[in-house]
Structure 1
Amino acid sequence: MPQTAFDSIALSRRALIRSGGLLAGSAVLAAGVVPRRVLAQGDHAGMHWPHVSELIDSYVDPRKLANMVAALGWGTQAPQVIAKGNLAIGQDAPAGIDSLYRIYSMTKPITGMAAMMLIDAGKMGLDQPLYEILPAFKNMMVQKVYDGPVTPDNLEPAKQPITIRMLLTHTAGLGYSIIQNGPIKDLYEKNGLVPGQVSRLPLPELGRAKPVEGLANFADGLAKVPLVLQPGEKFSYSVGLDLMGRVIEVVSGMPFDEFLRTKIFEPCGMTSTFFQVPEKDVGRLTTNYAVVSGTLFPIDPAASSIYLDKPAFPFGGAGLVSSPRDYDRFLEMLLNYGMIDGTRVMTERAVRVGTSNLLPKGAITKSTWIEGQGFGAGGRVSDGAYGWGGAAGTVAFVSFKAGLRAGMFTQYMPSDAYPIHTAFPAAVLKDLAGMQMKKAA
């Protein structure tokens, strides 16, 4: 498509990255997605998901989206898959459980669980000060006026140190270039503190700030930038999980991406989860679209995707590409408290703590995306459920009460162009209610 076709796309970087995992106007897991165990284990064979199927039909049939793939599984059982559409508009290759999707902030729960493994192993503490691991963060300065000037008269010392807990729960006071405004946003972009990528295309207003090379340089640069809030005082979506990648590699003694590969991906059998898509797997990669006035414009075509390039560093907050099958295996491991296919990946304690409410005592959540809920290691916590969404329309969760894992995969930006992050859990809930009624009858 000629570049001029994008001239009318007035989407900012903030708008493109907006998501149920990033700018959640409604809870992915509001009030607990599912009722208490609606069916006994072993009673799920042949169960259908009519409302989930109807949701998929309503978007793919009129070409509001190129494809949608849902994977829903009980306990240790294989997932039921509902898939429709092709990898891209105009292509014949169908999307399915092994197609590749940019999962963006659904990377955060994976990074969070990697951190929990090290905490559980005694390598670091949940309430350990960050500066004991990364000394540059010892004497942080904080903006007095949120998103105000980055000048001495608007800065004050941090009242308490950043802790590992705060990094995991977006309460460290760190900013985010997709969230902040004004001078602090400019400072993040000037210093390459932009841990994410969207497209190679020069889209209007998208922002072309180049990430700094290497996790160490990212962490060092971040330590020199003022915090936007006092540590521990309020939930504010941030680069905390990206910084956690550096913490993990310092504590573990191995590169962050290697830690994920050897400690989570390989033990879970996740063979299709990458920070950089291998050339041999390009044929499985979906195309990402911008939704403009109901029309889809390809902003990251598979054949020329930015995810074919090696990233500046492994973005622990939004960098992974994965398949519905792979992410379902991650969820299965969590749902079964660290076990999958007879292999123990995490201890039960690490999973239980990581999927519990870890917010610091007294941290403000009012008028934030998680008001009335909790937050665990990189994901929202609500009534026995844990999960998060991604900037390009993906969403996934586990419900420990129902013994259910569920994920929806598609590709479009901004994610609030369609209410998928809300609609998918709602459809799951309706289908579960139907199963419950059928079982009772």
Structure 2
Amino acid sequence: MSVRLDPARLRRVPETFSRAVGEGLLPGYALRINQGTEVVLDTQDGLRDLERSLPVERDTVFRAFSMTKPITSVAALMLYERGDLDIRVPLATYLPEFAHTPVCRTAAGDPADVVPMTNPLSAWHLLTHTSGLGYEWSGQNGVTEAYHRHRICDPDGPEDLATSVRRLAGLPLLFQPGSAWNYSMSVDVLGRLVEVVSGRPLDEFLAAEIFGPLGMTDTGFAVRSADLGRLATFYEAVPGGGHRPMSIFGPAVDAPPNLLAGGGGLYTTIEDYQAFVLMLAAGGRVGDRWLIGPETLRFATTNHLPGGVDLAAFAHRGLEDDLSGLGFGLGFAVVTDPPARRIQTRRGVHFWNGLGGGTFFIDRESGLSATYLMSVRSATNFVWEAKLQQLVHQAIVD
């Protein structure tokens, strides 16, 4: 369904974000909004490097962080629809190291107090974040401490993806697969699964199957040395105001790191990432071919949580974000109830975000899609994700 946008109301989007830049809340950002294939807003503001006063430009390179996850998920779904990957069978069919992964008996996460898996881990669990895996910051317990100690799936760590995933398989799951939702390293394991099933390293698969067809020439697991000047400095918000540079994940220069992190290791630009988003918004179509089928994407962007519950009802303990009105599909968060979400958006909108504050959303019903990139770690990042959806939807007048 086509909708009409009021230009004056649409200008509220960049005005709001640029006001935040002027107030020192954000270093800088890049933003692109499309209605179908038409670009209705393409803007950037602020600085990519505060210390050198370098502006954000259209070709600024950002760390994608967890905005890598939907790309890796699509890679797995491509193998799924080709018949090469069965997302229902035990993961050990492809990754034997997960055949006997134990499970913590209680929510305390004690790696010495475990029971066997009663429901075999599968690729479906990885795609939906119901695997029982976690992150090192997802609650302080023995399992998450082991993640930290062994630098599991750390792009800056000494191990490659295969070795790190094997080490991860030897640690207990936090809960039985399928019994709860927990944001986790599931998609890093999924990246390893893509490697095993396709017979290609993850970076080569993504380059050949996704980045090449979409013309995403500035997206990859490393930044070319000639392009380092375009890379946005990664900042963290300082209590009381301001930002300071934060050293995390590289950057990898010219060659990818030892570990190809399908859950958070990519670099990208606003133009590149919006090309990926537009492909999804078009139902998988790129020119005269289908990168992924529209039925596959409809399946992936449907809430897969048992009984249609939302994340607030199904999340593992310790998750403090407000997850009401959100479901989860195969790699995407899905709005199931806008009033419960308390955001002016639409049912069926699917999206994701990253540690650096970037986000995208697709509203297939209205034909609207948007990508927003910035480079700051802040407790307010989720505010901007919600504000982007709200401000774009308030511009609809017909």
Checking the alignment, whether the CA contact within 8 Å between 1:191 and 1:212 is kept in structure 2 is no
Is 1:109 aligned with 2:70? yes
Note the residue ranges of structure 2 that are not aligned, 5 or more in a row: 316-320, 336-346
Checking the alignment, whether the CA contact within 8 Å between 1:288 and 1:412 is kept in structure 2 is yes
Corresponding residue for residue 215 of structure 2: 269
Checking the alignment, whether the CA contact within 8 Å between 2:103 and 2:114 is kept in structure 1 is yes
Query: C-alpha distance in 1, partners of 2:393/2:310?
Result: 29
Checking the alignment, whether the CA contact within 8 Å between 2:28 and 2:374 is kept in structure 1 is yes
Checking the alignment, whether the CA contact within 8 Å between 2:153 and 2:259 is kept in structure 1 is no
3-state DSSP of counterpart to 1:125: coil
With over 3 angstroms needed to count, the CA separation of the structure-2 counterparts of 1:46 and 1:64, relative to structure 1, is closer
Checking the alignment, whether the CA contact within 8 Å between 2:311 and 2:328 is kept in structure 1 is no
Q: Select between 267-276 and 372-381 the one with higher mean Cα deviation.
A: 372-381
Q: Which amino acid aligns with 2:328?
A: F
Superposed displacement of residue 363, structure 1: 7.7
Is 1:99 aligned with 2:60? yes
Note the residue ranges of structure 1 that are not aligned, 5 or more in a row: 1-35, 197-209
With over 3 angstroms needed to count, the CA separation of the structure-2 counterparts of 1:121 and 1:45, relative to structure 1, is farther
Corresponding residue for residue 386 of structure 2: 422
Is 1:340 aligned with 2:286? yes
3-state DSSP of counterpart to 2:274: helix
Checking the alignment, whether the CA contact within 8 Å between 1:338 and 1:348 is kept in structure 2 is yes
Q: What TM-score, normalized by structure 1, do the two folds share? A: 0.80
Checking the alignment, whether the CA contact within 8 Å between 1:165 and 1:358 is kept in structure 2 is no
Q: Select between 62-71 and 227-236 the one with higher mean Cα deviation.
A: 62-71
Superposed displacement of residue 346, structure 1: 1.4
With over 3 angstroms needed to count, the CA separation of the structure-2 counterparts of 1:305 and 1:405, relative to structure 1, is same
Corresponding residue for residue 105 of structure 2: 144
Superposed displacement of residue 312, structure 1: 2.8
Provide, for residues 326-376 of structure 1, a one-character-per-residue CA deviation record: whole Å limited to 9, x for no partner: 110001100111112334211222222222223355888335354432212
Checking the alignment, whether the CA contact within 8 Å between 2:236 and 2:245 is kept in structure 1 is yes
With over 3 angstroms needed to count, the CA separation of the structure-2 counterparts of 1:73 and 1:364, relative to structure 1, is closer
2:376 to 387, 412, 418: 412
3-state DSSP of counterpart to 1:64: coil
Superposed displacement of residue 78, structure 1: 3.6
Checking the alignment, whether the CA contact within 8 Å between 1:398 and 1:406 is kept in structure 2 is yes
Superposed displacement of residue 282, structure 1: 1.0
Checking the alignment, whether the CA contact within 8 Å between 2:310 and 2:327 is kept in structure 1 is no
Q: Which has the higher contact order (CA 8 A, sep 6+)?
A: 1
Provide, for residues 12-53 of structure 1, a one-character-per-residue CA deviation record: whole Å limited to 9, x for no partner: xxxxxxxxxxxxxxxxxxxxxxxx6423xxxx6977622212
Q: Which amino acid aligns with 1:277?
A: V
The total of aligned residue pairs comes to 378
Q: Which amino acid aligns with 2:263?
A: G
Corresponding residue for residue 141 of structure 2: 182
1:298 to 245, 248, 262: 245
Is 1:172 aligned with 2:131? yes
Corresponding residue for residue 125 of structure 1: 86
Corresponding residue for residue 396 of structure 1: 360
Corresponding residue for residue 374 of structure 1: 327
3-state DSSP of counterpart to 1:87: strand
Superposed displacement of residue 155, structure 1: 0.7
Q: Select between 264-273 and 336-345 the one with higher mean Cα deviation.
A: 336-345
3-state DSSP of counterpart to 1:398: strand
Is 1:86 aligned with 2:47? yes
3-state DSSP of counterpart to 1:396: strand
Query: C-alpha distance in 1, partners of 2:62/2:14?
Result: 20
Corresponding residue for residue 28 of structure 1: none
2:3 to 31, 35, 38: 38
Query: C-alpha distance in 2, partners of 1:337/1:402?
Result: 13
Query: C-alpha distance in 2, partners of 1:50/1:314?
Result: 39
With over 3 angstroms needed to count, the CA separation of the structure-2 counterparts of 1:227 and 1:70, relative to structure 1, is same
Provide, for residues 291-318 of structure 1, a one-character-per-residue CA deviation record: whole Å limited to 9, x for no partner: 11211112249xx953437423111111
With over 3 angstroms needed to count, the CA separation of the structure-2 counterparts of 1:79 and 1:121, relative to structure 1, is farther
Query: C-alpha distance in 2, partners of 1:78/1:416?
Result: 27
Q: Select between 178-187 and 399-408 the one with higher mean Cα deviation.
A: 178-187
Cα RMSD, aligned residues only: 2.3
Corresponding residue for residue 11 of structure 1: none
With over 3 angstroms needed to count, the CA separation of the structure-2 counterparts of 1:144 and 1:416, relative to structure 1, is farther
With over 3 angstroms needed to count, the CA separation of the structure-2 counterparts of 1:415 and 1:307, relative to structure 1, is farther
With over 3 angstroms needed to count, the CA separation of the structure-2 counterparts of 1:233 and 1:180, relative to structure 1, is same
Corresponding residue for residue 213 of structure 1: 159
Query: C-alpha distance in 2, partners of 1:222/1:305?
Result: 22
1:305-316, aligned counterparts within 5 Å? Answer: 306-308=251-253, 310-316=256-262
Superposed displacement of residue 233, structure 1: 0.6
Checking the alignment, whether the CA contact within 8 Å between 1:387 and 1:398 is kept in structure 2 is yes
Corresponding residue for residue 154 of structure 2: 195
Checking the alignment, whether the CA contact within 8 Å between 2:327 and 2:334 is kept in structure 1 is yes
Is 1:245 aligned with 2:210? no
Is 1:160 aligned with 2:114? no
Query: C-alpha distance in 2, partners of 1:407/1:73?
Result: 9
Q: Which amino acid aligns with 2:3?
A: V
- Give identity over the alignment, percent: 31
With over 3 angstroms needed to count, the CA separation of the structure-2 counterparts of 1:188 and 1:92, relative to structure 1, is closer
Checking the alignment, whether the CA contact within 8 Å between 1:79 and 1:328 is kept in structure 2 is no
Corresponding residue for residue 203 of structure 1: none
Q: What TM-score, normalized by structure 2, do the two folds share? A: 0.88
Is 1:350 aligned with 2:296? yes
